[in-house]
């Protein structure tokens, strides 16, 4: 019998990386399988909200400087 897998809490960097690559649309199958076990839905949702906020802020700032 194999020992039970311990679910390590993923780092903020791991969550941010997962959300970034999901936005970009490129993920390895092995990474997806591993992260679907380690990450919880609230972590992914929080990371996605932060990612969207950063994306919108970046776009608005870029538009502001271009149209200035």
Specify the pLDDT at position 41.
85
Residue 5 falls within a domain, yes or no?
A: no
pLDDT at residue 2 greater than cutoff 60: no
Specify the pLDDT at position 64.
97
Residue 3 falls within a domain, yes or no?
A: no
Residue 7 falls within a domain, yes or no?
A: no
Residue 26 falls within a domain, yes or no?
A: yes
> Structurally, how many domains does the chain consist of?
1
The gap between the terminal CA atoms of the chain, to the nearest Å, is 67
User: How far is it, in rounded angstroms, from Cα 8 to Cα 66?
Assistant: 44
The residue segments making up the domain with residue 41 are 12-67
**Prediction pTM value:** 0.70
Structure confidence by residue, pLDDT tens digits, 5-64: 556 677 888 888 888 888 887 777 777 777 777 888 888 899 999 999 999 999 999 999
Residue 1 falls within a domain, yes or no?
A: no
């Amino acid at each position: 019998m194999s020992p039970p897998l311990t679910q390590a809490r993923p780092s903020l960097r791991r969550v941010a990386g997962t959300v970034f690559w999901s936005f970009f649309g490129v993920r390895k199958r092995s990474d997806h399988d591993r992260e679907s076990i380690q990450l919880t839905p609230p972590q992914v949702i929080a990371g996605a909200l932060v990612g969207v906020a950063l994306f919108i802020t970046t776009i608005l700032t870029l538009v502001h400087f271009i149209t200035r």
